[in-house]
Amino acid sequence: MSLLISILVLLVAFLITAIILVAPGRATEEMKAPFRNRYFAHRGLHTPDKSVPENSLAAYEAACRKGYGIELDVRLTSDGRVVMMHDPDLKRMCGVDLAIEDCTYEELSQYTLAETSEKIPLLKDALKLIDGRVPIIVEIKPCNSSLSLSKKTMSILAPYTGAYCVESFDPTIVRWLKYNAPVVLRGQLAHRLKDYDNSLPWIGRLFAANCLFGLLGRPHFIAYETGHKPWTVKLTKLMGAMHVVWTSHPKEMGGTPEKDARENDSVIFEFYEPPISIK
């Protein structure tokens, strides 16, 4: 009997610890409403052949015209400008082996995206184009100047009157948002343990994959990779967190779009055109 009691005590303690670690922050319905039951075009409504490149003004305009929300990525140049780019360098999108944070904006302006006429846009230009027509999810990319990028991004977003929320893979950025932008809906990005690289120690990858860094930033939503979610991530939804899935693909590309929509509050998608709303 004493062994059983000890096991039960350990299980209860384990569960309580998990709850403390993953508990989400509280967001009002007004904060959540623009982002619930919506489809968000991943890096804009870009095309597989890159004729409309990702994170381009053309991709953002295409999403706006269809009525989709937009997920976009921000990075910082060496002269402190906030630009739209997913990758830390120009290799994939511009064919040049240069890091974004080593280049000035003027230097980046020399290159085009995927051999089109589209240039790497500034955040302020993206906001001017979108102009509140659709809600946006802004992902702050981890970098060597994460604090500066976070400050500049939120400074640019502050006067914007359209609906926006902010997310990051970096829990320290989410923590910064908690204290410096408490009325802005904030999200923790995460994916499965096997998909993290070795830049984090194993325990760090374990915590990140299971959203156990929630204690730091108390995110209002969890944006998790499509597929299986750990039980700790499912627990966050029971505790009131919104769930956003990325990146949903069509069936012919091995995706599960119906399942993604059924199990989440919002869907970040690419390479197919779903309805504007989930429900």
CA–CA gap between residue 199 and residue 184 (Å, rounded): 29
235 belongs to a structural domain: yes
**By three-state DSSP, how is residue 119 classified?**
strand
**What is the CATH classification number for the domain harbouring 215?**
3.20.20
258 belongs to a structural domain: yes
Mean pLDDT along residues 90-115:
97
pLDDT at 186: 98
CA–CA gap between residue 249 and residue 252 (Å, rounded): 8
How does pLDDT run across 207-245, given as a tens digit for each residue? 999 999 999 999 999 999 999 999 999 999 999 999 999
Residue 148, token pair as written in the block: 């500066």
Cβ neighbors of 268 (< 8 A, separation 6 or more) are 40, 41, 42, 71, 137, 223, 244, 245, 246, 247, 248
pLDDT at 11: 80
**Model confidence band, residue 136 (pLDDT cutoffs 50, 70, 90):** very high
How does pLDDT run across 106-129, given as a tens digit for each residue? 999 999 999 999 999 999 999 999
79 belongs to a structural domain: no
105 belongs to a structural domain: no
pLDDT at 94: 98
2 belongs to a structural domain: no
pLDDT at 183: 97
Cβ neighbors of 47 (< 8 A, separation 6 or more) are 271
Q: What is the mean pLDDT of the chain?
A: 96
Tokens 């976009």 — which residue?
72
What residue ranges in the chain does DSSP mark as E strands?
Answer: 39-42, 69-76, 82-84, 136-140, 164-168, 186-190, 221-225, 242-248, 266-269
Tell which phi-psi region holds residue 171, choosing left (phi > 0), alpha (psi between -120 and 50) or beta. Answer: alpha
Domain span including residue 44: 27-49+64-73+132-269
- By CB atoms closer than 10 A (0-12, 13-18, 19+), residue 194 is exposed
Residue ranges of alpha helices (H) inside 67-170 are 91-94, 105-108, 123-130, 146-157
> Vertex 42, ends 37 and 47: CA angle to 5°?
125
Report the predicted TM-score, pTM, of the whole model to 2 decimal places.
0.95
What is the C-alpha end-to-end distance of the chain, expressed in Å? Answer: 50
Percent share of the chain, pLDDT over 70? 100
118 belongs to a structural domain: no
CA–CA gap between residue 126 and residue 153 (Å, rounded): 12
> Vertex 63, ends 265 and 168: CA angle to 5°?
50
Mean pLDDT along residues 90-108:
97
pLDDT at 3: 75
Q: Evaluate if residue 279 carries a pLDDT over 80.
A: no
Residue 18, token pair as written in the block: 């998990």
Q: Evaluate if residue 167 carries a pLDDT over 70.
A: yes
pLDDT at 1: 61
33 belongs to a structural domain: yes
Is the pLDDT higher at 1 or at 20?
20
Q: Evaluate if residue 4 carries a pLDDT over 90.
A: no
21 belongs to a structural domain: no
CA–CA gap between residue 237 and residue 32 (Å, rounded): 14
- Count structural domains, the chain: 1
